[in-house]
Structure 1
């Protein structure tokens, strides 16, 4: 789950997110995302309240600019699968 952890850290490094925002942005299974979030919570990397999930100070020290610089960016439409739609769509 290191890839998922990296994605979640990247999302939370910029702003507080709700669980629903995190779920809709990634194609991982719900249980995998919840397992990773629980693991991050137990390690003290994130905290949650009524407004959403955010990084703790410990989580922020883990995330530095070099760590996030190499995150791959995928197309929102095809998820990096190179699906090309015809003109009919």
Structure 2
């Protein structure tokens, strides 16, 4: 697993295929909290989504690359509705 301390706010999260998955809000425990801006549409809009740190393959520059392609990575996302 990649050192979570290297993951910073506003880094881009991309799948193994290079496709944008989200933007880091912060690391909480063993998960990356994505910004609400990347929450999607419809029922997903306005919710924070989380990616498990176990999916992180590497941190390269200002990007967090996942070990799964973007279409697979989003199926691992957890969702949380909160006022922050």
TM-score normalised over the length of structure 2: 0.30
Structure with the bigger percentage of strand: 2
